[in-house]
C-alpha cells in the first residue's frame, strides 16, 4: 500500500463537493467522504465521485453487533469504496465479521482500518464515562493490536502515535493520520499537528487533510504541495 494524501471532503451537499472536485482536472485525488455528506446524499454520492476517477475512503465508523456490521460492510464493498472503517471498541469478533462482509467473491476487499479512541475523548472521560482505568496510550495501543489480531489493515491515529503503532503492530500495519497542517498555515481547531513532511518522516502511510486544502485560495496548488512534501 503506497503512501498517499487523502482530502477530507467535509462538505454538506453534492453541489459543494462536486464544484470543489471540478477544480481538479489533471489529478484525481483520494478523497474521504464522511457521515454528513453520506447521510445527506446517500450511496449515490459514492458512485458519482467514483465515476469521476477518485479513490474513496468512506468514513462511517461502523459499530454494532457482528452480524449487522458484516452485512453492512458487504453493502459498502459492493459500492466499490477503496477504504472504510469501524470502531475497534466493537470487539475482535465484530472486526472479524466486518472483514468477512467486506471480502468480495474474488477475494479482494477495500482497505479496512479501525478507530481506536476518538481524539475528542479525554483521559478523564475514559475513566469517568467509560470506566476504563488504563491510560489513553495503553488503550489506543491495545485496540490497535486487537485490530491487527482481527486481520484489519491498520488504524486511524494521530501522527504522533504512528511510530508507536508501527512498533507494536508492524511496519506493514497502515497508519492513517489526520491533524496535518502546513508549517506556515492556520491550525484551526486541531491541537496536536504535524506538517506533511514530518508525517512522512515518522512513517504515516496516509495523511487526511481537510481545511488546509478545501479552504485554500488555490486548493489544487495546496493539494500538490501536500503531495510534494508527503509522497514524492
Catalytic annotation, residues: 61
Site for ligand C5P in 9-38 (CB under 6 A): 10, 34
Please calculate the CA angle 156-152-67 and round it to the nearest 5 degrees. Answer: 105
Cα separation of 5 and 105, whole Å? Answer: 29
Cα separation of 98 and 92, whole Å? Answer: 10
Cα separation of 32 and 138, whole Å? Answer: 28
Q: At what angle do helices 92-102 and 136-150 cross, to 10 degrees?
A: 40
CB of 124 to ligand C5P, least distance (A): 17
Greatest CA separation for the chain: 50
CB 76 within 8 A of CB 111: no
CB of 117 to ligand C5P, least distance (A): 9
Q: State which residue, 170 or 188, has the beta carbon closest to ligand C5P.
A: 188
Binding mask 65-104 for ligand C5P (x = CB under 6 A): ----------------------------------------
Q: State which residue, 103 or 190, has the beta carbon closest to ligand C5P.
A: 190
Binding mask 143-172 for ligand C5P (x = CB under 6 A): -------------x----------------
Q: Which of 72, 116, 119, 139 binds ligand C5P (CB under 6 A)?
A: 119
Cα separation of 74 and 219, whole Å? Answer: 34
Binding mask 186-225 for ligand C5P (x = CB under 6 A): --x-x-----------------xxxxx-------------
Number of residues that bind ligand C5P (CB under 6 A): 14
Going by C-alpha positions, the residue among 114, 118, 32 that lies closest to residue 73 is: 114
Residue 56 contacts ligand C5P per CB under 6 A? no
CB of 87 to ligand C5P, least distance (A): 12
* Cα dihedral across residues 187, 189, 193, 196: positive or negative: negative
CB of 105 to ligand C5P, least distance (A): 32
First to last CA, the chain: 15
Binding site for ligand C5P (CB under 6 A): 8, 10, 34, 119, 156, 178-179, 188, 190, 208-212
Amino acid at each position: 500500500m503506497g503512501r498517499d494524501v487523502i482530502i477530507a471532503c467535509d462538505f454538506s451537499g453534492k453541489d459543494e463537493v462536486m464544484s470543489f472536485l471540478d477544480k481538479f482536472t489533471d489529478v484525481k485525488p483520494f478523497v474521504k467522504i464522511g457521515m454528513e455528506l453520506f447521510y445527506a446524499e446517500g450511496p449515490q454520492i459514492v458512485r458519482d465521485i467514483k465515476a469521476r476517477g477518485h479513490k474513496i475512503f468512506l468514513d462511517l465508523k461502523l459499530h454494532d453487533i457482528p452480524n449487522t456490521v458484516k452485512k453492512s460492510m458487504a453493502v459498502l464493498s459492493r459500492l466499490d469504496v477503496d477504504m472504510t472503517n469501524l470502531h475497534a471498541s466493537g470487539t475482535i469478533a465484530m472486526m472479524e465479521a466486518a472483514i468477512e462482509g467486506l471480502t468480495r467473491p474474488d477475494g479482494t476487499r477495500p482497505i479496512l482500518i479501525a478507530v481506536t479512541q476518538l481524539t475528542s475523548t479525554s483521559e478523564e472521560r475514559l475513566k469517568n464515562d467509560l470506566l476504563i482505568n488504563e491510560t489513553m496510550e495503553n488503550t489506543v495501543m491495545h485496540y490497535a493490536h486487537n485490530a491487527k489480531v482481527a486481520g484489519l489493515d491498520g488504524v486511524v491515529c494521530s501522527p504522533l502515535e504512528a511510530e508507536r503503532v508501527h512498533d507494536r503492530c508492524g511496519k506493514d500495519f497502515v497508519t492513517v493520520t489526520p491533524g496535518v497542517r502546513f508549517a506556515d498555515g492556520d491550525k484551526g481547531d486541531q491541537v496536536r499537528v504535524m506538517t506533511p513532511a514530518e508525517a512522512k518522516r515518522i512513517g504515516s502511510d496516509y495523511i487526511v487533510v481537510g481545511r488546509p486544502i478545501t479552504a485554500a485560495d488555490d486548493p489544487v496548488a495546496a493539494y500538490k504541495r501536500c503531495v510534494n512534501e508527503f509522497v514524492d
